[in-house]
């Protein structure tokens, strides 16, 4: 009997990750420019037909985004790594059910969010609140600010970690993942006006924290 599908997908995700990290040039060559010429929607259609190359391309295109979003939710690097396999396992299984009502990237973040919250509920020592937020290094870029000095980057990350989970999530989706208010509302499951309200207060609180940290510029 063959290996269970979950194990196969996890191994496949590991192989994709290794390939992307060790030799991205060969990855691009093997996929025959698919990363540039093929839309996410077409890739999902091919994945639904069992196309492993399409799966590899989609993984290469989005796994960093999935990891970073998951990390901000679970605040644990190992758990965020595990989420990658879980998310792309769902993609492999559910690709045929994708209806295109949202962008594929939004769909992936929705899966990631669901998996992250489910994982946190299973962990007694981890909750989405300020009191238990761990000081995990965030190696992502800071696209919503243009400060380049390391001390300012560290200060920004500390300020972001000081926001409530709800505000941190909204900031992450809007500025790091460039999602619209409408997309965020659908992803999180709240009204658009609630998204706008949370974004307003999140920006206000973050501005106060940045000012207290000696950073008064760079926030949109």
User: Which residues does 71 contact at the CB level (< 8 Å), separation at least 6?
Assistant: 77, 80, 136, 138
pLDDT, tens digit, for every residue of 62-87? 999 999 999 888 888 888 999 999 99
The answer to pTM > 0.75 is no
Chain-centroid distance of CA 161 in Å reads 16
The CATH code that applies to domain 141-220 is 1.10.10.10
Q: Is residue 179 within 8 Å of residue 186, measured between CB atoms?
A: no
The pLDDT tens digits for 113-169 are: 988 888 888 775 444 444 444 433 343 444 443 334 456 667 777 888 888 888 888
Digit-coded pLDDT (tens) for 177-215: 888 899 899 888 899 999 999 999 988 888 888 888 777
Question: 190: which DSSP letter?
Answer: S
Whole-number pLDDT of residue 212: 82
- Predicted confidence (pLDDT) per residue in 21-42, tens digit: 555 444 444 444 444 557 999 9
Q: What is the mean pLDDT of residues 2-16?
A: 55
The CA distance from 141 to 147, in Å, is 10
**Class of the CATH domain delimited by 1-137:** mainly alpha
SS3 33: coil
* pLDDT at residue 18, rounded to an integer: 59
Domain edges within the chain? 1-137, 141-220
What pLDDT does residue 150 have?
52
Residue 62: per-residue pLDDT: 93
Helices vs strands, H then E, count in the chain: 11, 0
Answer whether residue 46 shows pLDDT above 90. yes
Fold match flag (1-137 vs 141-220): no
DSSP 106-172: HHHHHHHHHHHHHHHHH-TT--SSGGG-------S--TT----SHHHHHHHHHHHHHS-HHHHHHHI
- The pLDDT value recorded for residue 162 is 84
């Amino acid at each position: 009997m063959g290996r269970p599908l979950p194990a196969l997908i996890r191994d496949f995700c590991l192989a994709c990750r290794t390939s992307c990290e060790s030799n991205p040039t060969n990855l691009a060559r093997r996929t025959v420019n698919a990363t540039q010429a093929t839309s996410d929607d077409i890739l999902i259609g091919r994945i639904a037909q069992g196309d492993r190359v399409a799966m590899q391309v989609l993984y290469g295109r989005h796994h960093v985004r999935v990891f970073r979003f998951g990390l901000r939710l679970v605040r644990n690097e190992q758990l965020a790594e595990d989420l990658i396999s879980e998310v792309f396992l769902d993609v492999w299984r559910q690709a045929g059910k994708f209806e295109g009502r949202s962008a594929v990237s939004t769909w992936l973040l929705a899966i990631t969010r669901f998996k992250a919250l489910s994982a946190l509920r299973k962990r007694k020592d981890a909750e989405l609140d300020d009191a238990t937020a761990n000081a995990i290094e965030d190696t992502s870029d800071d696209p919503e600010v243009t400060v380049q000095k390391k001390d300012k980057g560290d200060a920004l990350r500390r300020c972001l970690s000081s926001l409530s989970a709800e505000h941190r999530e909204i900031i992450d989706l809007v500025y790091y993942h460039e999602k619209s208010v409408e997309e965020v509302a659908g992803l999180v499951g709240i009204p658009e006006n609630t998204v706008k309200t949370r974004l307003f207060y999140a920006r206000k609180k973050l501005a106060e924290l940045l000012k207290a940290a000696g950073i008064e510029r760079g926030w949109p």
